[in-house]
């Protein structure tokens, strides 16, 4: 279990504030870049740079042009919530 916790800490530092904000925006229902921008308050250029990273890390997936959290993304969000 400690390895899993460490990997979540690693992900948290890798994604940084902006990556986490994007993940949380998607969790709240933002599915495309424009709504992610509205929910997160981040510029589109930052979103376009971070979304591929979130996909590569298998935290989100794209289905029919919309973004959704994966099971791994949901678990990561739960870990983030523990910090707050």
CATH number, domain containing residue 39: 1.10.10.10
- What is residue 83's predicted lDDT score, i.e. its pLDDT? 78
What total number of domains does the chain contain?
Answer: 1
Distances in whole angstroms, Cα of residue 82 to Cα of each of 8, 24, 32, 76, 79: 12, 14, 27, 10, 5
- What is residue 11's predicted lDDT score, i.e. its pLDDT? 92
Which residue's structure tokens are 């029919």? 64
Average pLDDT value for residue range 58-83 = 94
Residue span of the structural domain in which 35 resides: 2-83
Report d(CA 81, CA 62) in Å as an integer: 23
pLDDT digits (tens, 9 = 90+) for 14-70: 999 999 999 999 999 999 999 999 999 999 999 999 999 999 999 999 999 999 999
pTM of the model: 0.89
Q: Are 32 and 44 in contact (CB under 8 A)?
A: no
């Amino acid at each position: 279990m400690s390895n899993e916790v460490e990997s979540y800490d690693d992900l948290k530092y890798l994604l940084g504030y902006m990556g986490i904000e994007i993940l949380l925006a998607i969790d709240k229902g933002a599915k495309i870049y424009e709504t992610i921008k509205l929910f997160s308050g981040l510029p589109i250029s930052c979103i376009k740079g971070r979304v591929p990273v979130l996909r590569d890390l298998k935290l989100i997936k794209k289905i029919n042009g919309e973004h959704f959290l994966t099971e791994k993304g949901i678990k990561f969000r739960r870990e983030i919530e523990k910090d707050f």
